[in-house]
Structure 1
Amino acid sequence: MRLRSLLEVPELRLALVTGDDELDRVIRWVVTTDLLDPSRYLSGRELVLTGIMWRTSPGDSEVFVRALARAGVSALAAWDAVKGTIPDDLVEACARHRIPLFRVPEDVAFATVTEQVARRLSSARAADLTAVLDRHRRLVAGVTEGAGLGPVLELLDRDLGMRCWVLTPTGRVVAGPTPPAAPANLAHAFLTAPRLPHRHAPADLSLFPVAPDTTARVADWFVACAGDLADWPAERRALVSELTAIVALERARQDDRLSVPGRLTQELVRLVVAGAAADEVVPRLELTGLDASATFTIVSATSSGRLRPGELRTVLRETLPYDPVVGLLDDEAIALVQVEPGQDVAGEVHRTLHALAPGLGGDRLAVGVSDVVTAGELRGAVEEARYARRLSAGRGDAVSVVRHDELATHVLLLASVPDDVRHMFKVRLLDPLRTYDEEHKADLVLTLETFLQHSGSWTRCAEQLHLHVNSVRYRIQRIEELTSRDLSRLEDRVDFFLALRLA
């Protein structure tokens, strides 16, 4: 409601005393006060009503009006019922501070003014809400018909002058023209903001999460809108809330986990991990859009924090530089990436995940990346990536990426051994020791591992375990009796070393 509308309310009969060039100001609410300095109770754009009870001398008018101006009120309406006038010093102070001043008729109560203005404000807000809901219906219709978010943002810009962009935490622009700031800088501001929504002052943008209550920040999208949200009216804030809800719909629509392509992707990953024959894998590679004659890299990722498997999958898809096929196995995300020779997938993943690290909120991501392989070598590449991921998980960093060339040679060898062979090898060597440990609390497995770490040195092993050398000798003897192996033989030591690596 604008000030000039006050002059058109027949029930009020307000008269403008000064400020005819400020009548386009907007009124947000009505406040009645007789305090000399009411600024602490004002938040801006109010119509202030006063009976001038605060005035004890002409100088008080300057104090009172200056406080109103500092608080950003829209106008003042006054009448001194005792003296039957408005003092000249109050008129002069209002003119000096550019505060429009209205005279309230003696027979019109301030309660009547408040009631009439509040009624019109409610009507105006209802009309604004109707318009917002109408736009909302149009926007949702555009999204659900597959038009995407581009037309939605164009509509907001054209009809309301609201310039907005939709981005991911990696800085990818989902919808909108080129932002006025580098997308990577906006993404960093979104990830590091102590609270959301957040004003990015360098570009005069306000950043809003799309689904903060249901999605981790690193897996969410965000909306950047031009301007400072602190200056926006309630109607514009409501419209941004509607926009984020619409963006959330589009984000959910692009999640392919429940779609036919998504199910094909999941099936392909399961077949590759299970070591299925080529005649099963190749057709599914082609169905998911991959070239069976190309080369691939496998990426394995897990999270040790609150990041849910679906969110981990989203992060991994967003992180990989090429169009990946990503599936889930329990809490592990596995991606097949079709690459050309020389493309550095691990380097891209490392750079992007470290940019996302500030938004993890205490979560830890462990990632392993295999060598480049052909379609027939995918099973070994999965194991290679998994070993690399396990190595990265042991490093304890917020984000750790280990590539295949950081793995020891024996790890690469183990990656190519079938699952059932590795399992049987491990069971035969270590299960007797584990069973004995469970029954006698003997720590034979720990002793064996420590003994091998110190290259068979009785003294260093005893020092590490805080035992007497004879106790170590007794435990090693018990290990040899239970497994029918001789730890003085190099080949038996190698077997135990490999079995422990498979554990």
Structure 2
Amino acid sequence: MPHLRLEVYSGASGLGREVTWTHTSDLPEPWRWVTGGEFLMTNGMSFPKSAKEQADLVRHLADAGVAGLGIGENMYCPRLTAAFTRTSDELGFPVLWIRYPLPFVAISRSVAEATLLDQSHRLARTVRIYDLIRRHTARGAAPADLLSALARELGCEIQVCDRATGEPWFPGTTPLDPTISDAVVALSEASKNVAGGAYGLPSVGDRAAMLTDIPRHAGAALVTLSDPRVGVDPIQLQHAATVVAIELSQTQLMLEHERRYGSGLLTQMLEGRMDVAGVTAQLADLGLKPESAVLVAARSEEPERMLELHNSLWRHTLPYLCLLRMGTAHVLVPDGPDTDSVLSRALGPTARIGISRTVGSLARFQDAAREAAWALSIAERRETVVSRYGSAVPWVGLSSVADAQTLVDRILRPVLDYDEQHNSRLVETLDAFLQNQRSWQQTAQAMHIHRQTVMYRIRKVEALTSRDLADTNSLSELWLAVRAAELLYTRDSDRSESTPAT
């Protein structure tokens, strides 16, 4: 383009590089914001001054696939060093002076006019990419088929993964290399390893890996594996991410419908409102058999993981019923060698998971609910991720729901009945009294009541239980009974969900 009167400064051997677009930037690290093939133009406002930094700038731009660098003449660029010139010549990376006062937009228009044919080809590829979702939906094909078709269009391998775990988002798709999946989990949005709108990931063999965000689905990511010498068109990659977003939205609508159906059924089962024959048939339709299923009670300090739990179970092709109520996830799933790991990975490192014995039959479902709640209590008190009922080390000498129930009934039952009949707080006061080293004043302050009220309530407990808190044996029995009740009634809200038999 002689009419532009550009002057070659260095890197003349690279003048044959293809220019697909122009880009103007005065950012200190412009290579992070290009997609490859650009003629980069700058006024030099943030151009480095030292020889090493100037040479590094050339290397970074060349590695990012920039076609060449244009510097505005008589503007703000510092003196170009010999190291800059030498590096440009060695890499065949052309550097040109843009004569003052030629506007950068004149160069941009010339490049746009010269690349019209290439842009028409790009538009045709874009149309084909969006047509894939139409044909995929019409055929009702599996998500894996859509990803394969997108991979053929882009000329690279494509995988969609869960950002929290690095696992494949769609069942039946190839898992990521462990190195990449670990990098996905560890990736921070503040990462500076960015190029062409995508985050860099560790290479696998001779393939470069990049991660692209998926619109409206922050928990999922699109990962590409490609030949680094060819790369992936970043603009087409953004279109592919949009197509994947549409597929994810359709899938999540289906999963939400299934979750709601299952949560309604599980609610009836937990509350004992079920027709055994009807529920058995419904479970069979879902692929669940009571004789091989377990009931799970779980909590996590990451609410978004609790909300996505059913998605994780679906991704591992596990049939399930899932209910989230009062901060606890209740799940009915088949038991198997991977059940513990699937649940713990889905709920994250803060998870506390209790798993019942095999349900066996629906007649035993309420027992399984109590077992799961008991196991969850043990997991929380021992700060372990997973606790299975019957396999955990006994806590304060209690190894089962039956043990705890027997102890509570023998010692605290009169107090529990009194509280229920009179809407009083004797058990709560007893617990606070024991937790505050049997101090009347500290207990009163903790409960925001008068000291005399505490004394009256404790005397009432002693009368109802026929025990004296000044006696060591009585004190031990009452403390154990309160702890057992705490295990049986994990939270006040759980009493209505799974009340132990009286």
TM-score, normalised to structure 1, is: 0.63
Contact residue 355 and residue 371 of structure 2 kept, 8 A: yes
- For residues 213-253 of structure 1, what are the alpha-carbon distances to aligned partners after superposition, in whole Å with 9 as ceiling and x for unaligned? 665xxxx3432211479976541442343244244235415
- For residues 28-71 of structure 1, what are the alpha-carbon distances to aligned partners after superposition, in whole Å with 9 as ceiling and x for unaligned? 31669xxxxx9968647554789xxxxxxxxxxxx999986774
How much does 1:141 deviate?
Answer: 1.1
- For residues 404-452 of structure 1, what are the alpha-carbon distances to aligned partners after superposition, in whole Å with 9 as ceiling and x for unaligned? 0126345245689xxxxxx9977414458973679xxx944423x569x
2:495 maps to what in 1?
Answer: none
Give the secondary structure class of the aligned counterpart of 2:385.
strand
Is 2:231 aligned against 1:206? no
How much does 1:99 deviate?
Answer: 4.9
1:310 maps to what in 2?
Answer: 307
Is 2:228 aligned against 1:224? no
User: Cα 1:404–1:324, aligned 2, differ >3 Å: closer, same or farther?
Assistant: same
Is 2:109 aligned against 1:116? yes
2:466 maps to what in 1?
Answer: 486
**Aligned equivalents of 1:318 and 1:356: distance in 2?**
10
How much does 1:390 deviate?
Answer: 2.9
The answer to which structure, 1 or 2, has the higher relative contact order (CA under 8 A, 6+ apart) is: 2
1:109-188 counterparts in 2 under 5 A?
Answer: 113-114=106-107, 116-120=109-113, 127=120, 130-131=123-124, 133-145=126-138, 146-168=140-162, 169=165, 171-172=167-168, 174=170, 178=174, 181-182=177-178, 185-188=179-182
Show structure 2 runs of 5+ residues with no match: 43-52, 74-84, 192-197, 407-411, 445-452, 490-502
Is 2:341 aligned against 1:351? yes
1:393 maps to what in 2?
Answer: 380
User: Which amino acid is the alignment partner of residue 148 of structure 1?
Assistant: A
1:249 maps to what in 2?
Answer: 249
Contact residue 480 and residue 486 of structure 1 kept, 8 A: yes
**Aligned equivalents of 2:229 and 2:247: distance in 1?**
19
Show structure 1 runs of 5+ residues with no match: 1-5, 33-37, 51-62, 81-90, 417-422, 452-459
User: Which amino acid is the alignment partner of residue 164 of structure 1?
Assistant: I
Contact residue 426 and residue 458 of structure 2 kept, 8 A: no
How much does 1:370 deviate?
Answer: 0.4
**Aligned equivalents of 2:244 and 2:326: distance in 1?**
30
Alignment partner for residue 379 of structure 1, among 366, 386, 392? Answer: 366
User: Cα 1:28–1:435, aligned 2, differ >3 Å: closer, same or farther?
Assistant: same
1:414-433 counterparts in 2 under 5 A?
Answer: 427-431=416-420
Contact residue 322 and residue 338 of structure 1 kept, 8 A: yes
How much does 1:272 deviate?
Answer: 1.9
**Aligned equivalents of 2:487 and 2:323: distance in 1?**
26
**Aligned equivalents of 2:7 and 2:334: distance in 1?**
76
- Please provide the CA RMSD for this pair: 5.4
Alignment partner for residue 335 of structure 1, among 304, 309, 331? Answer: 331
2:387 maps to what in 1?
Answer: 402
Contact residue 205 and residue 226 of structure 1 kept, 8 A: yes
**Aligned equivalents of 1:160 and 1:124: distance in 2?**
19
Contact residue 189 and residue 200 of structure 1 kept, 8 A: yes
How much does 1:338 deviate?
Answer: 3.3
User: Cα 1:388–1:13, aligned 2, differ >3 Å: closer, same or farther?
Assistant: same
1:456 maps to what in 2?
Answer: none
Contact residue 271 and residue 281 of structure 1 kept, 8 A: no
TM-score, normalised to structure 2, is: 0.63
User: Cα 1:136–1:444, aligned 2, differ >3 Å: closer, same or farther?
Assistant: same
Alignment partner for residue 287 of structure 2, among 266, 286, 289? Answer: 289
Aligned length: 422
Give the secondary structure class of the aligned counterpart of 1:23.
coil
**Aligned equivalents of 2:123 and 2:89: distance in 1?**
38
How much does 1:374 deviate?
Answer: 1.3
How much does 1:385 deviate?
Answer: 0.3
How much does 1:298 deviate?
Answer: 1.0
2:459 maps to what in 1?
Answer: 477
1:56 maps to what in 2?
Answer: none
**Aligned equivalents of 1:234 and 1:241: distance in 2?**
10
User: Which amino acid is the alignment partner of residue 26 of structure 1?
Assistant: V
Contact residue 48 and residue 76 of structure 1 kept, 8 A: yes
Alignment partner for residue 352 of structure 2, among 340, 353, 366? Answer: 366
**Aligned equivalents of 1:137 and 1:207: distance in 2?**
20
User: Cα 1:139–1:253, aligned 2, differ >3 Å: closer, same or farther?
Assistant: farther
**Aligned equivalents of 2:86 and 2:376: distance in 1?**
76
User: Which amino acid is the alignment partner of residue 278 of structure 1?
Assistant: V
User: Cα 1:285–1:97, aligned 2, differ >3 Å: closer, same or farther?
Assistant: closer
User: Cα 1:109–1:499, aligned 2, differ >3 Å: closer, same or farther?
Assistant: closer
Contact residue 294 and residue 358 of structure 2 kept, 8 A: yes
1:411 maps to what in 2?
Answer: 401
**Aligned equivalents of 1:28 and 1:464: distance in 2?**
77
How much does 1:371 deviate?
Answer: 0.8
How much does 1:161 deviate?
Answer: 0.6
Alignment partner for residue 446 of structure 1, among 432, 438, 454? Answer: 432
